[in-house]
């Protein structure tokens, strides 16, 4: 019993106030300090600040607190330009000077390696974060939930840890085209009295407005996510959208009847225009269907893909596997330096897009298949195909354990890991370090004003393997 009480004992209490010096930023962009050796996370506080904080939550290993007053302010603190910054929670770092965001993102990556690995971090080549010249209005896709405020239809995001929908008229990290498209749809839902979905009562129709723009082409796609197959006033809505925004080239309906936080359901219907829109990065044109993954910041995507290409060290002879390939964007980027490209993805539409993109760009030696990377790589190994380079750009959950085992079985000479989550990257690097040497990690800022950190890691097969 004594052990139990010690384990659950906290040095702080709810609502307790005390002074705290902030040492660094945490993985979610919050300030991190230590009170009597207990870790305290403080949203909105910055490294170097001295603040009086009030405890809001206690967990077995840490406490959360809110800033009451700041006694000593960071010289890098700025006023967040977004009017709903505090309520929305979509961005975490608008109150920090941009060049310092880049410094702390590298540190967030190092913290993850310290927490999840036994690697010799001090000896590792962890480079300075690659940033953006203009870190605003960069996202090419928005997914805004729809709700009601009184009788009025609103569209926005749910506030941090709340079911309160924050009405967002203009999001300053979204492209202006997606902001405009969302507002055009919202106004028409209001005008035509189309019922919006209520999370609590599970009644109504429209759940989410998804808008995407091809930055180089100007083409706009709207996806209206509904809880039911039926979309009242559908024809009037389509006509109004096309009249108000001639740049809309694709209007889709996606049906998601499930009680879930996942945006898309499995059924997608073409309402008007074409099924895909196009976007370009350099000489490559990409066809994007409603559910196809495409990087949200194309300006930084070019830099990311160039870093992946650099880490692949291609000579024109290499066979490449592009795992989690999506619509084949990375494979295309690497194609000029490779002898053969193979890729796979579990989303069938993405593979259709990948094949279309490869064909359109005159790729000769390519194979794209629906399924998991581990399933196809082992099948290809049995058929005598051995890749020289494997590239992965997995979701936030990181690489599937069975994929890591497959990599250690197939043993490509180089493994290039593009990551959007430092914690899962660190765990995966630890698993791969038995057979692979980590040459370097290059952090890159895909999402300015947020705590997200992207990176490209080059791993090379150790000589004794």
Q: How far is the C-alpha of 348 from the C-alpha of 356, rounded, in Å?
A: 13
CA-wise closest residue to 340 among 317, 371, 373: 317
* Residue 399 is a catalytic residue: no
Q: At what angle do helices 401-410 and 422-432 cross, to 10 degrees?
A: 40
Distances (CA, A) of 202 to 162, 192, 198, 218, 258: 18, 21, 5, 36, 10
- Please tell me the distance from the alpha carbon of residue 198 to that of residue 190, in angstroms, as a whole number: 15
- Which strands make up the sheet holding 267-273, listed edge to edge? 165-167, 152-158, 141-149, 206-213, 220-226, 248-255, 267-273
CB 425 within 8 A of CB 392: no
Taking CA atoms, 165 is separated from 150, 175, 222, in Å, by: 13, 21, 21
For 109, how many CA atoms within 13 A lie in the half-sphere containing its CB? Answer: 30
Instruction: Return the residue matching tokens 């039911």.
Output: 228
Bridge partners of residue 267, in order along the sequence: 255
Say if residues 326 and 292 touch (Cβ distance below 8 Å): yes
Handedness of CA 74, 76, 78, 82 (dihedral sign): negative
- Residue 27 and residue 422 in contact, taking contact as beta carbons nearer than 8 Å: yes
Q: Which of 91, 171, 399, 420 is catalytic?
A: 420
Nearest alpha carbon to residue 338 among 308, 303, 371, 380:
308
Helices (H), 148-233: 176-191
Name the strand (E) or helix (H) holding 439: strand 436-444
Catalytically active residues are 420
């Amino acid at each position: 019993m004594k052990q139990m009480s010690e384990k659950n004992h906290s040095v702080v209490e709810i609502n307790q106030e005390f002074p705290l010096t902030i040492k660094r930023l945490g993985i979610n962009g919050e300030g991190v300090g230590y009170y009597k050796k207990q870790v305290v996370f403080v949203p909105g506080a910055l490294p170097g600040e001295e603040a009086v904080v009030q405890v809001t939550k206690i967990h077995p290993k840490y406490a959360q607190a809110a800033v009451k007053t700041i006694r000593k302010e960071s010289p890098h603190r700025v006023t967040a330009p977004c009017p709903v910054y505090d309520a929305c929670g979509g961005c975490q770092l608008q109150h920090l000077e941009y060049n310092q965001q880049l410094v702390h993102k590298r540190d967030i990556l190092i913290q993850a390696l310290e927490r999840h690995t036994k690697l010799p971090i001090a000896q590792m080549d962890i480079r300075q974060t690659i940033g953006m010249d203009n870190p605003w209005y960069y996202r090419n896709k928005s997914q805004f939930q729809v709700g009601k405020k009184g009788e009025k239809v609103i569209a926005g995001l749910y506030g941090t840890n709340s079911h309160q929908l924050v009405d967002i008229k203009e999001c300053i990290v979204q492209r202006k085209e997606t902001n405009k498209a969302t507002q055009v749809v919202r106004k028409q839902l209001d005008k035509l009295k189309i019922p919006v979905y209520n999370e609590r009562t599970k009644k109504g129709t429209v759940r989410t407005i998804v808008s995407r723009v091809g930055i180089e082409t100007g083409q706009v796609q709207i996806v209206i996510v509904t809880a039911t197959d039926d979309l009242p006033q559908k024809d009037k809505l389509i006509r109004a959208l096309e009249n108000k925004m001639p740049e809309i080239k694709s209007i889709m309906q996606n049906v998601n009847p499930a009680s879930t936080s996942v945006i898309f359901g499995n059924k997608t219907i073409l309402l008007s225009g074409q099924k895909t829109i196009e976007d370009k990065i350099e000489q490559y044109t990409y066809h994007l269907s409603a559910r196809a993954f495409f990087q949200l910041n194309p300006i930084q995507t070019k830099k990311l893909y160039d870093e992946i290409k650099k880490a692949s060290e291609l000579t024109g002879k290499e066979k490449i596997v592009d795992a989690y390939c999506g619509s084949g964007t990375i494979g295309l980027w690497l194609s000029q330096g490779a002898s053969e490209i193979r890729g796979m993805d579990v989303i069938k539409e993405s593979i259709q897009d990948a094949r279309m993109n490869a064909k359109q760009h005159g790729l000769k030696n390519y194979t794209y298949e629906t399924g998991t990377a581990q399933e196809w790589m082992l099948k290809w190994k049995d058929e005598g195909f051995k890749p020289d380079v494997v590239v992965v750009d997995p979701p936030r959950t990181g690489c599937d354990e069975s994929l890591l085992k497959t990599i250690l079985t197939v043993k490509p000479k180089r493994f290039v890991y593009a990551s959007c989550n430092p914690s899962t990257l660190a765990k995966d690097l630890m698993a791969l370090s038995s057979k692979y040497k980590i040459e370097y990690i290059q952090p890159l800022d895909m999402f300015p004003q947020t705590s997200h950190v992207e990176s490209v890691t080059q791993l090379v097969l150790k000589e004794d393997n």
